[in-house]
Structure 1
Amino acid sequence: MMNSYVDKVLIVEGKSDKNKVTKIVKEPVEIICTNGTISHTKLDEWIEFLDDKDVYILVDADEAGERLRKLFKREFPNAEHLYIDRMYREVATAPVHHLATVLIGANIDVHTEFLEMG
């Protein structure tokens, strides 16, 4: 699941978020899912694995996403939080050009055709 050779890790909520972002990202980025919640055991594993990585948090603009974001701010204080426009609410339903713009703003290389779709 987790690739120790990748320097950037993007945490998303669900598999549909991961699938959408995977198509957009051009560089090697490990994308891991919380599946909405995360156990203490899994969180402890992530803390150890993510210690020397650039961590990015991209969760939905809803109550569940905000709870996760709050947890990650506490557990990964150096993580960069990426935000989608609230009008889209969910990463999975946000337009690809919007996601590409958010990702490129965090210095994550994306396939340029997704930027041109806007």
Structure 2
Amino acid sequence: MATVQVEKVIIVEGRSDKKKLESIIKEPVEIICTNGTISYAKLDELIDELYNKEVFILVDSDEAGEKLRKQFMREFPEAEHLYIDRMYREVAAAPKQHIAAVLLSANIDVHTEYL
């Protein structure tokens, strides 16, 4: 059996964000947690690791999330930024249907029950 080469990567803040996305996404996507912060050394490592992959940033709509997003914009300008509605503030708190719509807009295949 051939191994599946994951071409899409989503970077999130926490494990609860990752678990929520895993339940919504239908295609093979690597989900990486930063645990709220990321060192420059880890970021450099990530940039090398993610070369030639389609990278998406999906972080919370709060101060910590925006700080992390700005860091990624500076250090990883090729990444595509996905945004949840500010009224939900956190990816983990957003309804699955809302997250599915955000992911679908980025051409990430989601389970149809969330549409």
State the TM bucket, normalised to the shorter chain. over 0.9
Whole-Å Cα distance in 2 between the matches of residues 82 and 40 of structure 1?
A: 22
How far off its partner does 1:59 sit?
0.3
What's the counterpart of residue 66 of structure 1?
66
Where 1:88 maps in the other structure, the secondary structure is coil
Shift of 1:44: 1.4
Report the TM-score when normalising by structure 1: 0.92
Equivalent position of 1:87 in the other structure? 87
Question: When the two structures are aligned, how many residues end up with a matched partner?
Answer: 112
Q: CA deviation at 1:79?
A: 0.8
Structure 2 counterpart of 1:91, one-letter code: V
Q: Which structure features the higher share of helix residues?
A: 1
Moved over 6 A (4+): none
Distance 2:44 2:70 in 1: 16
List alignment gaps of at least 5 residues for structure 1.
Answer: none
Provide the C-alpha distance between the structure 1 equivalents of 2:9 and 2:104, rounded to a whole number of angstroms.
14
Matched, 1:40 2:33: no
- 1:49 equivalent in structure 2: 49
Task: Provide the aligned C-alpha RMSD in A.
Answer: 1.1
**What residue number does 1:23 align with?**
23
Match of 1:5 in 2: 5
CA distance in 2: counterparts of 1:27 and 1:101, whole angstroms:
15
* Separation in 1, partners of 2:43, 2:78: 15
Deviation sequence 1:12-38 (CA, Å, 0-9, x none):
000000000000000010000000001
SS at match of 1:72: helix
Counterparts of 1:26 and 1:52, CA distance in 2: 22
Identity of aligned residues (%): 71
